[in-house]
Structure 1
Amino acid sequence: MEASGGTKSKILTWLRISDRPVVKVYRGYVHQGNIVVFGHVLRRSALPRKKYRQNFWSNSFALLRLFMARPVAGMTVKVAGIEEDVRYITEKDGFFRLEWKPQKPLSPGWHSVKVELITANLGENDPITTGEGKVFQAHSTQYGFISDIDDTFLISHSANLRKRLLVLLTENAYSRDPFEDVVEHYQLLARSGTDEKAPNPFFFVSSSEWNLYDYILTFCERNGIPDGVFLLNQIKQLREVWKTGQNKHMTKFTRIVRILDAFPEMRFVLLGDDTQEDPNIYASLVQHFPRQIRCVYLRRVHQKNEGRTQGFVDQIIAAGVPCCYFRHSSEAIRHSAKIGLVEKADVRE
């Protein structure tokens, strides 16, 4: 048995897969004084990628490893290093969400947080393992930005499952491309009504799965997308990889509503595209939260959806909310300058 276990461990190490418990902590946020942290407990997970080579087999296997994760239900996690006893029992997909009010308010910016995996028999002073993440305390700014990911700033071909899978399997976070000028637009929005020292908060809400969290985070950091909080969709298994990004999109509506409810005094700009359900979801959000939505941006990507999308654009504008349905980010930048979201002096001619 020991030899078998040793062989298995060697094979997994060679495949760069960890067979030890992991607490995966994602970026969280602070709202109305409460800290919110979420993540997964996994008993098997991909080790961080070290090399990025433009090689089909290397990229394909690196992507497939992300879907070999094995979540664990019924495990207890707690926040480390605080006096409050804040704990959560993981759900059936290994997910946890911790929320608490710290004794001292956090200053604006990013703060580190640790989450421990504990069991009663080991005792709370001897956690099985610990995961680290960050939480963002928003600065006192006027705007927040809620953005989709695939085909909004990351070229993904979401409307065509075959093309989406091909890109995921053959490219990597270093070789994928953002749309032209989209990084400039997002950086300008991050400074809208403020400056680089106190950037506006960004929330990236996507139908992509939590399996792709590190992949997406690496892409954003490499390309200069503003730092933000990610709210992705349920983790998937390897047998479901062909359905990546094909989740029930209306759960996205619920996740965005949570953000709007968490920051009732903040006005938000919604950014998406026409490949899936963003136009419908955003039109519904404008109907329910007209005072909180400052503007809507929809990228024109899928020609077959243009007529349907234009109908939702008309609904949004009729509700008194500016909406820009654009093909190139340069158009969106000019629109942002026109309505006063960004300074005209900052816009390249």
Structure 2
Amino acid sequence: MPRLPRRITSDLTAVVAGLEGKLTERRRDLKVQFGAFRGVHVVVYRGYVAADVAKVRVRVMEAPELPGNSRIPYWDVAQSNVRRHATLSIVGAEVELRIGRYRATEVTDGHGFATFSLPVPKLRVGWHAAEAVVAGIDDDDSATGTGWVLKPSLAAPFLVISDIDDTILLTGLTEGVAMVARTLLRHVEERTAIPGMSALYRGLARGIPGRTGSRRPEPAFFYVSTGSWSFYSMLEQFVELRAFPPGPMFLTDWGPTDRYLRRSGAEHKRSAVRRLFEAYPGMRFVLIGDSGQRDPVIYEELAREFPGRVLAAIIRQVGADDEERNSALSEHAEALRGEGIPMHLVADAAQAAAVAHSLRLCDADTVSEVRAELDH
């Protein structure tokens, strides 16, 4: 089947995205008209500061519907997780973002998102509160959401970019129905962390002592996933509950946009990682992912695009050693190391910690703590 010319494809996607936005507005108007609108809910996703500019994303939507009190096992959990994707977006809402004394205003797009690039000169290193205020919808009171923005220390030895699915959170993307069941039927408290990875990440955050015994500033952590923004609150809670270092997340919106009818997960990850390399040109990175998707390919591409900027690309093996995919990847990683691209395929968090320790990315205590977590 011949491909449509790029301009025609672009025009088509813009029409579809515009139509979806208008349908969303019509749906909201009908709910307001019939008294079914539950009010406005504002989410401020964790953002980051680079070159004195805060990059923050805000979403405005209808207040979520609380689950019922069903006696059917897992029914309420499944309803809540499905509703995350069916939430009504608020299109065309004016949003003011406030970070300390700094202010900016944007308008939500066809999916309810407002994307900010707010200059924040002289903001100190660390986490800062961010507040988003939305004017009342149809004479309702204004709504407010709060979140956090991170300004990483450029004196840190490196920054960490981590995949989420099957790197820190067990999803079983290669398992089909089992993955769907985990996603839809479990509370966040029941979601399983990949054993040992939490201890490894805390060790990377702690770093190694210098000659005087002091440690350099902690590296910032960034999390990338092909998952929907609708799961953000669950993922944020998961990171906190399992004691992973907090950090901004790069998720994706599964609906059509002005440019694309559907999304490429690999391109989303590649763009997110590249964006961070470009945002912090003087920094080096530790990249962590798994062999279940395209993390090794993406990390290799970025290591070639930004020579010398990758301190380590650690890939957690999904599946058995003798699987053709893993055997080939093990050989390829060895060849890449011969080229100076430090890619390592590891069977578990213990091997990952050993590799990180050998590269002086974490201390010996980290190796012990990871093994203890695996033995627990």
Q: TM-score if structure 2 supplies the norm length?
A: 0.77
Shift in Å, 1:188: 0.5
Aligned residues: 325
2:348 corresponds to: 328
Q: 2:47 is matched with which residue: 8, 28, 34? A: 28
Determine if contact 2:200/2:366 at 8 Å carries over to the other structure. Answer: no
Q: What does 1:230-269 align with in structure 2 at a 5 Å threshold?
A: 230-235=249-254, 248-269=265-286
User: C-alpha separation between the residues in 1 aligned to 2:254 and 2:343?
Assistant: 32
Q: Is the CA contact (8 Å cut-off) linking 1:116 and 1:127 kept in structure 2?
A: no
Shift of 1:321: 2.5
Q: Verify: 1:63 aligned to 2:78, yes or no.
A: no
Secondary structure of 1:71 counterpart: coil
Do the aligned residues in 1 keep the contact of 2:317 with 2:345 (CA within 8 Å)? Answer: yes
Q: State how far apart, in whole Å, the 1-side matches of 2:325 and 2:40 are.
A: 44
Is the CA contact (8 Å cut-off) linking 2:158 and 2:283 kept in structure 1? Answer: yes
Amino acid at match of 1:156: T
For residue 42 of structure 1, the aligned residue among 61, 64, 79 is: 61
In structure 2, runs of 5+ residues without a counterpart are 1-29, 257-262, 372-376
Distance 1:311 1:22 in 2: 50
Residues 196 and 162 (structure 1 numbering): CA distance in 2 closer, same or farther, change over 3 Å?
A: farther
Q: How far apart are residue 197 of structure 1 and its match?
A: 9.4
Aligned to 2:294: 277
1:214 aligns with 2:233: yes
Deviations 1:139-174 (A, max 9, x none): 231210000001001111012332210111222210
Q: C-alpha separation between the residues in 1 aligned to 2:361 and 2:282?
A: 17
> Can you list the C-alpha shifts for 1:284-338, whole angstroms capped at 9, x where unaligned?
1111012211100111114453245336524642441322201111011111111
> What residue number does 1:240 align with?
none
Q: Which residue of 1 aligns with 2:163?
A: 148
TM-score normalized by the length of structure 1: 0.83
Aligned partner of residue 325 in structure 2, secondary structure: helix
Letter aligned with residue 215 of structure 1: M
The partner residue of 1:76 within 84, 94, 110 is 94
**Match of 1:93, SS?**
coil
Tell me how far apart the structure 1 counterparts of residues 216 and 73 of structure 2 sit (CA, whole Å): 39
Give the match for residue 119 of structure 2: 101
For residue 190 of structure 1, give the secondary structure of its aligned residue in structure 2: helix
**One-letter code of the match for 2:286?**
V
The residue type equivalent to 1:285 in the other structure is: L
Distance in 2, Cα, partners of 1:106 & 1:127: 31
Could you tell me which residue of structure 2 aligns to residue 291 of structure 1?
Answer: 308
- State the Cα distance separating 1:180 from its structure 2 match: 1.6
Deviation, 1:345, is 4.7
CA 159–236 in structure 1, closer or farther in 2 if over 3 Å, else same: farther
Secondary structure at the counterpart of residue 265 of structure 2: coil
What percentage of aligned pairs have identical amino acids? Answer: 24
Deviation for aligned residue 1:83? 5.9
1:138: which partner in 2?
Answer: 152
- Tell me by how many angstroms 1:276 deviates: 1.1
1:103-160 per-residue CA deviation (whole Å, 9 max, x = no partner) reads 5x222221101112238998xxx97322111001112312100000010011110123
Bigger CA radius of gyration: 2
Q: Secondary structure at the match of 2:300?
A: helix
8 Å CA contact 2:60–2:113 kept in 1: the answer is yes
How many Å apart are 1:42 and its aligned residue? Answer: 1.2
Q: Measure the CA separation in 2 of the matches of 1:249 and 1:151.
A: 15
| 8 Å CA contact 2:250, 2:272 repeated in 1 | yes
Alpha-carbon RMSD across the aligned residues, in angstroms, is 3.2
Give yes or no for contact 1:287–1:319 (8 Å, CA) kept in 2. no
SS of aligned partner of 2:360: coil
Q: What's 1:15 paired with?
A: none
Is the Cα contact below 8 Å between 2:44 and 2:146 reproduced in 1?
A: yes
Contact 2:161 2:224 in 1 (8 A): yes
CA contact (8 A) 1:283 1:315 kept: no
Q: Which residue of 1 aligns with 2:317?
A: 300
Corresponding letter in the other structure for 2:171? S
Aligned residues of 2:61 and 2:112 also touching (Cα < 8 A): yes
Q: 1:113 to 1:196 in 2, by over 3 A?
A: farther
Question: Are the counterparts in 1 of residues 62 and 89 from structure 2 also a CA contact under 8 Å?
Answer: yes
SS where residue 180 of structure 1 aligns?
coil
